[in-house]
Chains A and B, each alone.
Chain A
Amino acid sequence: MNANQVVGKPLVKKDAAAKVTGRAIYADDIFLKGMLHVKVLRSPHAHAVIKNIDTSEAEKLPGVKYVMTHKNAPDFLYNSYWREPVDSTRLPDDEQVFSQKMRYYGDRVAAVVAISEEVASDALKLIKVDYEVLPAINTPLDALKPSAVKIHDSGNLIKEVRWDVGDVDKGFAEADYIFEENFQTSVQQHVPLEPRCYIADYDPTSEKLTVWSSTQGVHNIRVLLGKLLKMPLSKIEVLQPFVGGGFGGKNDLFEEILVSLLSMRVGKPVKINFTREEEFVASRVRHAHTMNLKMGVKKDGTLIARHLTAFLNSGGYAAASSKVALTTGHRWIMLYRTPNIRYEGSAAYTNYPVAAAMRGFGTPQQTFATEILIDRIARKLNLDVLEFHKKNLVRVGDYDPISNITIESCGLEECIDVGAKEIGWYEKRGKKIRSGSKVRGVGMAVGTHNTGVKPFVNEISAAFVKLNEDGSLNVMAGSCDIGQGSDTMIAQIAAETLGIPYEKVEVLSGNTDVCPYDIGTHSSRQTYMAGNAVHLAALEAKKLLLENTAINLGTSPDDLEIREGVISSKSEPQKSITVGEAAMTILHQDKNVQIMGRGSFASTTNAPPFMAHFAEVEVDTETGEVNVLKLVAVSDCGTAINPLIVKGQAEGGLIQGLGFALMEGLLFDSKTGVPLNANMTDYFIPTAMDVPDEVKTFVANVVEPTGPYGAKGIGEPAMVATAPAILNAITDATGVELNNIPITAEKMLSSLRGN
């Protein structure tokens, strides 16, 4: 039962009306006086050295104001994911604004600033470049061969992670059965509908730099710009307009550094708007994992040993790859109770596009392998796969040895039971219901992920609130809303905590001058972190409000409560005053105090969310087409602060997971490493036609004690378990075992024919 007034209600989002009327301003909708346009010449080779570059003709083109290359750009090295000094020890500084060496197709060669995009594009064609083409490395295994050409001088290994729990060799020796398979996931790309856009405006009179960025974390951009440009952070304002989707791909520092440098050089505002091809190849992609998974079980289905070896295809630069290697192992280790575990993860440079954060950050890749192998184990040992899961999955009270935390909430059993009932598991499983050439099956998978980034990164979020003299509230939150609804969630929590209506709360976020610090919108952390920060800020404001009001009403602060914008005495309800009247009085009369609050929250734990996904598919054995009939997601995200928003995440995740399973993956020329389908015609993301007839989502009854009003994350977990659930359903239908994705119709047909 929801005793809350605002939290837990499916309220309409604060920004929905602006978006649905076209009033919402995204970065490319911003036009500044005298603004110039940037186009970047990008490497047509996956691996090459620039031997000579001649920009003289380009510079002469009328309308061209400036051309930058490695010859006149600063040559500092950086890592686009850097946030704090300790990152220098764990993230390699291997990126430059312009390098002489091209390490992926799309790497920056030159930038032209001109009066229009058209003139800038024409100028690019006049730039003459002599490349020495080098052999392109496509896979991490190729990259790690001793004979492989070095992509960076430091060698091709970025990070090697090795974790041991117990004694895995002894564990396998004690196992009754051992299962081992190889798995491969694809280079999925975020494909946000909005191609990113960055604008910089440097004012030499105030020495202030303003940057508008399609980013997921304004403070991350600011601190890195400050470090590289050697400017005080108070002189750098990073603003986040509305962002058209991120999914992790808009986390890092991208061309903000380029437009900042260019604006400083030309003395005008400068904008770069990515083309869709640039969005595909010159931003970020998901790591393709090459995995070997080995599991040992006892006769009764108890997991006794697990060993995962993962090679991560990190692309031309490291960015956040070492963290993805860590998270892949962490979430794989902590989900199943097993006394003996070994994880070996290696992130390697290749000449593919740069891989970094994408929804799930390594978890979807290892979950793919784990949940498929478990399905196979259950099948081969004739065990109920649902019971196998329940027997071996973690529970409340279990200890996570990697993050050093104890699990305080876990709804996995409920997730499995609810999902099984909804899909009709026992009625359909193993039945291979046929209709002509089509055959049906059901499959399932479970998953987990983070709520925040502890222990691998320090967690912090902060917020300010100020109560206006009419009882309305302004919140300044460090978080960034990228469409997932964090601004709305924050408004709900602030309203609930203070006891005022949702309609009276306005949220400002994505502004580094006004809002306090937050590490960015990723790791499914905003509801938990920004939510907790705003909760603290609202509590401080509430305390100040009640202390001052108590004096006026002649009672004590403990005797007062606030409901729906009215402060009243619990013992004498006739003693009451509206929040607005109280705020006006306190501000202008009495002690002349501005009611405000600050909240700075650092988490001590990382409360994992959990989910179970179930899929029903129908495979056409003549064409290989896989039709997903039904998808079910049951999520343990703690309290759903806004059930409508949570439903949106769960549904969006299922469909993105469907894309990951059946449709998506960048393809590359095996010799040159050049991407072959970096466009929206040949890289398929699900359309409305791909949506199953039935998509059902549920939220488990779980309250996380450390979360704001009991909440945990959902954004990323929403797609972690979908692909293995679909593949397990295909196996249930056809008996065919599949170990890599995407399962296109051709691949399905080929597999059905025993290839």
Chain B
Amino acid sequence: MQEAGIQFSVNGENVSVTVKHNETLADVLRQKLGLTGTKVGCDKGSCGACTVIMNGKTVSSCLIPAVKADKSEIITIEGISVNGELDPLQKAFIEEGAVQCGFCTPGMVLTAKALLDKNPNPTVDEIKKAIAGNLCRCTGYESIIAAVRRAAKAL
């Protein structure tokens, strides 16, 4: 199995890792960098639990070959709060009761963050479309949509 050395930035920090050609970005984040906040729900890009922000866009990290992360900028859920201070989006999720089992939450927060970065005042329909690829089995999405709206107001 061939290996390659790659370098990229995660949550503002530069990292160097050796990765196998069949490893995914999700594998590397979780197993090599100890960033287990990114979750794997299906390993096939169908559920959104593994969502991270790569070069400004949301991606399913279980579908990204690790080698492709070379020279990229990755943001994971661990990079959302700054110096222990929760992002308004995270606070909104908590306050709206949008966190039940929490497994979809990291991916959901990152997708919502990417949305608000581009569109600070989204309509309910725009929110629904943006998070359509992030499955949640617990909440029924109502509180998640409310959390995104609440965060948008706080911005």
Contacts from A to B (Cβ < 8 Å): 10, 12-13, 15-26, 28-29, 31, 118, 190-195, 242-247, 275-276, 482-485, 644-645, 647-648, 651-656, 679-681, 685-689, 691, 695
Q: Is B95 an interface residue (CB 8 A)?
A: yes
The one of B78, B86, B101 that contacts A17, using a Cβ cutoff of 8 Å: B86
Contact check, B44 vs A242: say whether CB atoms are below 8 A apart.
no
Which residues of chain A are within 8 angstroms of B44 by Cβ–Cβ distance? 276, 679-681
15 pairs from A and B in contact (CB 8 Å cutoff): A12-B97, A13-B94, A16-B99, A22-B77, A26-B36, A193-B49, A194-B41, A246-B101, A275-B43, A276-B47, A483-B100, A644-B96, A648-B138, A651-B142, A652-B100
> In whole angstroms, how far apart are the Cα atoms of A12 and B38 in the complex?
23
Q: How far is the CB of B59 from chain A (nearest CB, A)?
A: 17
A contact residues around B132 at 8 Å (CB) = 687-689
Find out whether the CB atom of B102 lies under 8 angstroms from the CB atom of A21.
no
Please report the C-alpha to C-alpha distance between residue A28 and residue B37 in the assembled complex, in whole angstroms. Answer: 11
Instruction: Encode B107-148 as 1/0 by CB contact (under 8 A) with A.
Output: 001000000000000000001110111111111111111000
By a CB distance below 8 angstroms, the chain B residues around A485 are: 100
The answer on a CB contact under 8 Å between A29 and B41 is no
| List of B residues within 8 angstroms of A31 by Cβ | 31
Given A20-B90, A193-B49, A688-B132, A244-B140 contact (CB < 8 Å) = no
Other CB < 8 Å A-B pairs besides A193-B103, A247-B137, A651-B143, 9 of them?
A: A13-B94, A20-B86, A192-B137, A193-B135, A194-B39, A483-B101, A644-B96, A652-B100, A695-B140
Using A20-B105, A193-B103 as known contacts, say yes or no to A652 and B139 having CB atoms under 8 A apart.
yes
Q: How far is the CA of A242 from the CA of B38 in the complex (A)?
A: 14
Contact A191 B140 (CB under 8 A): no
Instruction: Give a binary string over B61-99; 1 marks a CB under 8 Å from any A CB, 0 the rest.
Output: 000000000000000111011000010001001111101
Interface size range on B against A: 35 or more
Contact B103 A192 (CB under 8 A): yes
Residue pair B39, A688 in contact (C-beta under 8 Å): no
Distance A118 CA – B140 CA, assembled complex (angstroms): 35
Are B47 and A680 neighbours in the complex by a CB distance under 8 Å? yes
Contact B41 A195 (CB under 8 A): yes
Instruction: Provide the residues of chain A in CB contact with B53, threshold 8 Å.
Output: none
Provide the residues of chain A in CB contact with B40, threshold 8 Å.
Answer: 28, 195
B57 within 8 A of A: no
* 8 Å CB contact of A244 from B103, B128, B131: B103
Name the B residues within 8 Å of A645 (CB-CB). 97
The residue of chain A having its C-beta at the shortest distance from the C-beta of B129 within the complex is A689
Q: How distant is A100 from chain B, measured CB to nearest CB, in Å?
A: 31
Residue numbers in A under 8 Å from B134 (CB-CB): 688
CA distance A484 to B81 in the complex (A): 25
Q: Using a CB–CB distance below 8 Å, which chain B residues touch chain A?
A: 22, 30-31, 35-44, 46-47, 49, 76-78, 80-81, 86, 90, 93-97, 99-106, 109, 127-129, 131-145
Q: Is the interface of B mostly helix, strand, loop or mixed?
A: loop
Complex CA gap A193/B49 in Å reads: 8
Q: Which residues of A contact B143 (CB under 8 A)?
A: 647-648, 651
Contacts of B137 in A (CB 8 A): 190-193, 245, 247, 652, 656, 685
CB of A197, distance to nearest CB on chain B (Å): 10
**Partner of B94 from A12, A246, A685 at Cβ < 8 Å:** A12
| Contact assessment for A655 and B99 in the assembled complex, using a CB-CB cutoff below 8 Å | no
Cα A648 to Cα B137 with chains together (Å): 11
Is there contact, CB below 8 Å, between A29 and B101? Answer: no
Residue in chain A with minimal CB distance to B95: A12
In the complex the two chains form, is B46's CB within 8 Å of A679's CB?
Answer: yes
A651 touches B94 (CB 8 A): no
With a CB–CB cut-off of 8 A, which chain B residues contact A118? 22
- Docked Cα-Cα span, A723 to B3, in Å, equals 51
A651–B144 Cα distance when bound, in Å, is 11
Chain B residues positioned under 8 Å from A19 (CB to CB): 99, 101-102, 105
Main secondary structure on A side of the interface with B? loop
Which among A13, A23, A244, A483 is the interface contact of B39 at CB below 8 angstroms? Answer: A244
- The answer to whether B144 and A688 touch across the interface, beta carbons within 8 angstroms, is yes
Task: Give min CB distance, A256 to chain B, whole Å.
Answer: 20
CA–CA, A53 and B90, complex, Å: 52
Query: Distance (Å) between the CB of A547 and the closest chain B CB?
Result: 39
Chain A residues with Cβ under 8 A from B81's Cβ?
21
Instruction: Write the nearest CB–CB distance from B44 to chain A, whole angstroms.
Output: 7
- Give the residue name and chain of the B residue nearest to A682 (CB): B46
Cα separation A645 to B80 with both chains bound (whole Å):
25
Q: Which 7 A-B pairs have the closest CB atoms?
A: A22-B37, A483-B101, A19-B102, A244-B103, A655-B140, A22-B77, A680-B46
CA distance A645 to B138 in the complex (A): 11
Tell me the complex Cα distance, A651–B136, Å. Answer: 12
In the complex, the answer to whether A688 meets B99 with C-beta atoms within 8 Å is no
CB-defined contacts of A10 to chain B, threshold 8 Å = 97
Q: Is the CB of B140 within 8 A of A652?
A: yes
Q: Is the CB of A20 within 8 A of B94?
A: yes
CB distance from B85 to the nearest CB of A (A): 11
Inter-chain contact A691/B100, CB cutoff 8 Å: no
Q: Are A689 and B94 in contact (CB under 8 A)?
A: no
Of the listed residues A16, A194, A485, the one surrounded by the most CB atoms of chain B closer than 10 A to its CB is: A16
Q: Across the interface, do A21 and B86 meet the contact criterion of CB distance under 8 Å?
A: yes
- Complex interface: chain A residues within 8 A of B39 (CB): 26, 193-194, 244
Q: Is the CB of B145 within 8 A of A691?
A: yes
Q: A193-B137, A656-B140, A688-B141 are in contact. Are A25 and B36 (CB under 8 A)?
A: yes
Partner of B42 from the list A12, A13, A18, A680 (CB cut-off 8 Å) is: A680
Q: Write out the residue numbers on chain B whose beta carbons fall within 8 Å of the beta carbon of A242.
A: 101-102
* A327 to B23 alpha-carbon distance, docked (Å): 47
Are the CB atoms of B144 and A193 closer together than 8 Å? no
Q: Do the beta carbons of A687 and B135 come within 8 Å of each other?
A: yes
Name the CB-closest residue of A to B131: A688
Chain A, residue nearest B110 (CB): A22
User: Please, how many angstroms separate the alpha-carbon atoms of A94 and B90 in the complex?
Assistant: 47
Which of A29, A193, A651, A652 gathers the greatest number of chain B CB atoms within 10 Å? A193
B41 contacts A688, CB within 8 Å? no
Contacts of B49 in A (CB 8 A): 193
A695 and B142 contact, Cβ closer than 8 Å, known pairs A22-B37, A680-B47: yes
Q: Report the Cα distance A494→B132, complex, angstroms.
A: 39
Cα distance A485–B100 in the bound complex, in angstroms: 7
Greatest chain B CB density within 10 A among A190, A195, A275 is at A195
A21 engages B140 (CB within 8 Å) = no
What chain A residues lie within 8 Å of B43 (beta carbons)? 275-276
